[in-house]
A and B are shown apart, each in its own frame.
Chain A
């Protein structure tokens, strides 16, 4: 424990006149002198020198107050940073001991955030992919400028473009180090845009959720067709959309929007820390295509398949839907979605025009 920083002590002395009561630290100043209180004890009728000595013995309480209150931070940022270190639940001493020791570990989506104690009680944040929690920072590509996060998160580890920032495909191999609170919030903003703002609104009970119906009613241009998909005959189709797009395996946001106010969807919204407040542009774009496809009537087709071939088709759909097709090993011919198995099925069951069992899609084709 080091002595209290002079600047912080001066700030506390001035603030005491209007009263300080923060995370267990109470500092007041009236005609009887100063009052200094921590969970360890209360001291009253103090001179400025005595007050300074007590502050000297409790620098963590003073710097904790200073870090959160004496600096100009937006409310959203304060709430987010305090949430990360559990400031509303963990006493100052407990947090400082942990930060000074191994650091406090927090998470946000797939981000692992390490909070260490910096100089004069300030925090130093480190951010990386949670799957690399045990990887030495030196073996990662190190960044200090939050803006660099934009390019880093553009592609997944397989080199594919990530149009959805909250898809659980955060790439690995990098770390942001030596960040202060502002830089941490900026970095998170570039990795998971608007998640902090919406999380904060939700905590205050002010999150403005736009449900499926109102979102689709709002659409125009090529997307205005989507509203015709809702025919007042139930909302099973929206359950399918949410199951397809919004499960935790596809998006880390916790879906808070429903079919409409008072009509919840039957599928789970997920367990993410930050909320999803309306169908996103990917859902809207996909819904336009589904609206067109779902306008078709069903038809009866007749296919001759062995039982294993039927199951193989189901296995192929599952593998694609779960993103596992590429991880099926080259020679694993026991998997229905194995490439050789699929090629065999195509060779046997597709005609030269690519039609399953030679069955035309339309009567005339």
Chain B
């Protein structure tokens, strides 16, 4: 038997923080390739500490629903899961290239395949593009559009900015959008001046965050000038300095993120059958349906 455990931050204060995690778990559960699909949280229950004992399978694929490699993926999660002999060297990563490491956990008799975070997987570039399609309601969105990928910045972790650049560069290389840039909340180039960085009138803004919360629903919309007060909401698109801003909200809420979770597990050796194709197809149908609402 093989299990998938999605580990995420969660929140003591925000009831919606766990929603994308549950949604992606459900999508993967429906694909039917894992005997068990579980979720665990740093701030909610089951905790990282106690999730493995709720799993029956002997092979467990743990995928962090985090944006970048750093404090949580390198220190907190391995420690709380009691991964014996964990050493960052096992990931052999340049900051965005971790795939997986195979370890034992001290409190259960199981093999744990500890994967890199979803945010740095190449497939996350596709999720950002899908997010642009969803927010514009145009499955061909690209020509005539600029794309801004937004990150938190280096305040806490330099790898966080690396992940943003990784995807901005990958998407730029495809030539699909007229312009692509990485922008940040707390370092240059800053999201506050978003319209200064693009020639194109229509700018799609996709924050590389897992869940919607304070940053994506309060800070960024106000900083970009979409609204004076986040509580009154904003238009999509919103007119700012002669540009139209298509603000997408956290990329991690996009249904296709479930595909990245599966790809992480598959890269670590999980037998995922045709789940990647199934989920890519199904989440596209869902995205088109919601774009038409």
Contact = CB atoms under 8 A, between A and B. Distances in A.
A44 B15 CA distance: 63
Contacts of A194: 45-47, 50-51, 53-54
Interface in A32-79: 74
A280 B12 contact: no
A197 B54 contact: yes
Contacts of B44: 163, 165, 281
Nearest to B29: A147
B76 interface: yes
Contacts of B158: none
Q: How large is the interface on B (under 10, 10 to 19, 20 to 34, 35 or more residues)?
A: 20 to 34
Contacts, number: 56
Contacts of A74: 56
B79 A218 contact: yes
Given A220-B76, A281-B47, A193 B54 contact: yes
A278 interface: yes
Interface string A269-280: 000000001101
Given A197-B53, A197-B54, A163 B13 contact: yes
B71 A221 contact: yes
B47 A163 contact: no
B265 to A, nearest CB: 20
A128 to B, nearest CB: 21
Interface in A152-189: 154-155, 161, 163-166, 189
B11 interface: yes
Contacts of B54: 189, 193-194, 196-197
B12, B26, B71 — most chain A CB neighbours (10 Å): B12
Contacts of B14: 161
B42 interface: yes
B20 to A, nearest CB: 13
A281 B51 CA distance: 14
A155 B15 contact: yes
Which of A165, A220, A278, A281 gathers the greatest number of chain B CB atoms within 10 Å? A281
Interface in B1-40: 11-15, 22, 26
B45 A201 contact: no
A126 to B, nearest CB: 23
A220 B75 contact: yes
Nearest to A278: B49
A208 B56 contact: no
B280 interface: no
B196 interface: no
Contacts of A278: 49
A73 to B, nearest CB: 10
A140 B75 CA distance: 45
Interface in B37-70: 42-47, 49-51, 53-54, 56
A150 interface: yes
A194 B49 CA distance: 10
B253 to A, nearest CB: 16
A161 B76 contact: no
A285 B44 CA distance: 12
A347 B76 CA distance: 48
Given A163-B13, A220-B76, A281-B43, A197 B56 contact: no
Contacts of A220: 75-76, 79
Residue in B13, B45, B79 with the greatest tally of chain A CB atoms within 10 Å: B45
A194 B55 CA distance: 10
Nearest to B56: A74
Interface string B160-186: 000000000000000000000000000
A62 to B, nearest CB: 27
Contact of B11 (A155, A163, A189): A163
Contacts of B43: 163, 281, 285
Contacts of A189: 54
B107 interface: yes
A193 B50 contact: yes
Contact of B26 (A147, A161, A208, A282): A147
Contacts of A193: 45-46, 50, 54
A129 interface: no
A197 B44 CA distance: 17
A282 B51 CA distance: 17
Contact of A281 (B13, B42, B71, B79): B42
A195 to B, nearest CB: 9
Contacts of B76: 220-221
A198 interface: yes
A198 B12 contact: no
Nearest to B26: A147
B50 A282 contact: no
Interface string B120-151: 00000000000000000000000000000000
A281 B12 contact: yes
B51 to A, nearest CB: 7
Contacts of B46: 193-194
Contacts of B26: 147
B107 A154 contact: no
A74 B108 CA distance: 14
Contact of B15 (A147, A154, A208): A154
23 contacts: A74-B56, A147-B26, A150-B22, A155-B15, A163-B11, A163-B12, A164-B45, A165-B45, A189-B54, A194-B47, A194-B50, A194-B53, A194-B54, A196-B54, A197-B54, A198-B50, A218-B79, A220-B75, A220-B76, A221-B76, A278-B49, A280-B47, A281-B12
Given A194-B50, A218-B79, 15 more contacts: A161-B13, A161-B15, A163-B11, A163-B12, A163-B43, A165-B45, A193-B45, A194-B51, A194-B54, A197-B53, A197-B54, A201-B53, A280-B45, A281-B42, A281-B44
Interface of B: 11-15, 22, 26, 42-47, 49-51, 53-54, 56, 71, 75-76, 79, 107
Interface of A: 74, 147, 150, 154-155, 161, 163-166, 189, 193-194, 196-198, 201, 208, 218, 220-221, 277-278, 280-282, 285
